[in-house]
Structures are given as structure tokens and as C-alpha cells.
Amino acid sequence: MNTTTRISTAERLGRSIGRGWRAYARGERRVSNWLVSKGVPVAGATVLLWVVKLAVLGVLLYSAFWLALLLVCVVAVGWAANQSHSDEEFHLQFPTTLEELRETPGYDPNLYNDTSHEMYKDDD
């Protein structure tokens, strides 16, 4: 039996997210201190950082909106394509055989070069 304790995947993920958050906070403090060292008031540096955060949030929300709209369109197109009719409901618009063609109203054998029809007239 092994006596060393192993951390779970969830704990490992939590630790890495925590390290990332601390690195972000450290970088934000560094930028704030740099702005103050360049002569920007502390309140101005704080406001500027919040403006940048809100701008990034706005860009993310804008991108998420268009991706969601694209997803909705893809789902709608898929739904419309799925609304197919069965073969029993499908009816051909045009006759499939010569006999069906001859039974259509206004049939003229000369237009179809139907030489076997009794009403066919040769132009000779």
C-alpha cells in the first residue's frame, strides 16, 4: 500500500486556476503601480483598469452573441432540413411514362416527336 497522498484532478484544476488568478491580480497591481509612477492619480488608474475590464467584457459578450446567433441559425437550418416528407406524400410533377404523358390535357404528339401516336403529323 502506498502511503503518499495524491491530489485529485479537481484539486489540481483548482490550484491551477488559483495560480492563474493570483498571476492576473499581480499583473493588474503591477500595471496600476506603473500608471501611478507615470503621474496618473490612483483613482484614475483604478478607473482606467475598470474601463479596460469592461471593454474586454463587452467584446466577449459581443462575440458570444454572434456565436449564439450562428448556432441558432445552424439549428434552424437543421430543423428545416429534417422536415422531409415520406415517399408516399411525394408526388412527381411531371408524367413518368409515355402513357401518362398522353393523358395530360393539351398533349400534342408533334411537340414530343411521338411518332407512334395516331395524331402525329410529319412536316414532309
Between the alpha carbon of residue 30 and those of residues 33, 47, 105, 112, 118, the distances in Å are 5, 15, 87, 86, 98
The CA distance from 61 to 55, in Å, is 10
The CA distance from 17 to 105, in Å, is 77
Q: Which three cell numbers stand for residue 104?
A: 395530360
Q: What is the pTM of this model?
A: 0.55
| pLDDT at residue 46 tops 90 | yes
| pLDDT at residue 86 tops 70 | no
What per-residue confidence (pLDDT) applies to 104? 78
89-109 pLDDT tens trace: 666 677 667 777 777 777 777
Helix runs in the chain, H state only: 9-37, 42-82, 98-102
What per-residue confidence (pLDDT) applies to 101? 75
Which of the 8 DSSP states describes residue 84? P
